[in-house]
Homo-oligomer: A and B are copies of this chain.
Amino acid sequence: MNNITIRRVKSFVTAPNGINLVVVKVETSEPGLVGYGCATFTWRYKAVKTAIDEYLDPMLQGKSVHNIEDLWQTMMGSSYWRNGPVLNNAISGVDEALWDIKGKLANMPLYDLLGGKSREGIELYRHADGNSIEEVKENVHALIEEGYRHIRCHMGTYGGNFNGKRQRIIKPVNAPKGAYYHPHKYMNSVIKLLENIRTDFGNDLEIMHDVHERLSLADTLTFVKELEQFKLFFLEDSLPPEQCDFFKILREHTVTPLAMGELFTNPVEWKNIIQNQLINYIRVHISSIGGITPAKKLATFCELYGIKTAWHGPNDLSPIGAVAQMHLDLNINNFGIQEFAGFSEAEKEIFDGCPKIENGYAYLNDKPGLGISFNEEKAKKYPPVEMDFSWLFSRLPDGTATRP
């Protein structure tokens, strides 16, 4: 068995939901034995694809499929400069595919290979927004009806104002184009929304909210304190990755559970906030840190400090990526909750083996490896699309560029 080698690494882009997804296939010397991984960094997917096609494919051809740890270290080191979302996603595509292959060789689902299930179903949370409090509440209600117990509630989109309907903003003349939002109006609108939600849905509903890094440190601090009354399940990404030192001060002012990290792409970003127990949920986008290999290590690190997982899981990752996370979710002891955005029919058509969702839980199948396959032909029906970047050009009322 030790002579199975990588024959080829191929990348695919498909957009079944209007969002470009990057899928990696690792073909092996063993006829019929392939693995799939997710490399979706949708906002720079072409650069990821170049990294896979031009560097990882030639570098890996002929290498043994077995030594995933060694290959991961080699891929990471071989660019000299390393980390960052482009290279990490490329590596993730290969890494996940190799774990898929490993499972197939073992004839085991990945969760089984990693040490078996720690639970039977994966608790999910969903996102609800709307242009009015009523509209949000309707969306919340619908999700509850579907069986969900954990819902992230937002006025408008992030910052409360992507489509410009909710906030009246006085801009200076000649202000450049962009996705303007007003921090204080946004904060006030969330407070009102949550008051309404708690009144209507009671205290049993588990509520999340996502700051999406849009607030200054000063505003974040005020906001976390005021939010405490709503007993959130957690508050997401209250700080940008460059400012995580500020969690020390934030933590002193709130007992609200803090989730962080969908933008992390470098181990230095999460090290201090974990070893100082400043957050409660780690939220990385696992392909952005390099796949299953580093995500499993990160989960282990978090377990040591009593921190749980809440992997980033909206529809800017492929069902393969979603399933990869869920194998970890089933396996590790310190699973917290899983973000989930649903699978479209188009996705299910392309990706065979999507988990079953029932009563707010996800259930993986028990096929070997990741248990999900990619239909290249059907994927062609959903070719890459031009994406709307405009919400990423976020600006304060006076025109200051913010991230994101």
Tell me, yes or no, whether A402 is within 8 Å of chain B by CB.
yes
* Closest residue on chain B to residue A256 by CB atoms: B222
B176 and A120 contacting across the interface, CB-CB below 8 Å? yes
A246 and B277 contacting across the interface, CB-CB below 8 Å? yes
A217 and B307 contacting across the interface, CB-CB below 8 Å? yes
Please, which residues of chain B bring their CB within 8 A of the CB of A82? 85, 263, 265, 403
B307 and A303 contacting across the interface, CB-CB below 8 Å? no
Tell me, yes or no, whether A383 is within 8 Å of chain B by CB.
no
Q: How far is the CA of A2 from the CA of B278 in the complex (A)?
A: 39
Known: A266-B268, A304-B267, A366-B2. A80 touches B404 (CB 8 A): yes
Q: From A5-13, A45-53, A344-352, give the one contacting chain B.
A: A45-53
The A359-404 residues at the B interface (CB cut-off 8 A) are 359-361, 363, 366, 389, 392-394, 396-404
Known: A117-B67, A308-B216. A172 touches B361 (CB 8 A): yes
CB A215 to nearest CB in B, in angstroms, measures 10
Q: How far is the CA of A266 from the CA of B198 in the complex (A)?
A: 40
* Closest residue on chain B to residue A248 by CB atoms: B277
B335 and A400 contacting across the interface, CB-CB below 8 Å? yes
Please, which residues of chain B bring their CB within 8 A of the CB of A318? none
A-B pairs with beta carbons under 8 Å apart, 27 shown = A41-B79, A43-B81, A47-B47, A47-B54, A70-B176, A73-B118, A73-B403, A74-B393, A77-B404, A78-B389, A78-B404, A83-B85, A83-B266, A106-B113, A118-B400, A120-B398, A172-B363, A184-B206, A188-B203, A216-B280, A218-B234, A221-B257, A222-B256, A249-B277, A249-B278, A267-B304, A333-B400
A47-B90, A67-B118 known; 13 other A-B pairs, CB under 8 Å?
A43-B55, A46-B50, A47-B48, A70-B117, A77-B392, A82-B263, A83-B241, A105-B108, A120-B172, A121-B172, A184-B206, A249-B278, A251-B252
**Which 5 interchain pairs have the tightest Cβ spacing?**
A84-B84, A121-B172, A67-B116, A106-B106, A81-B85
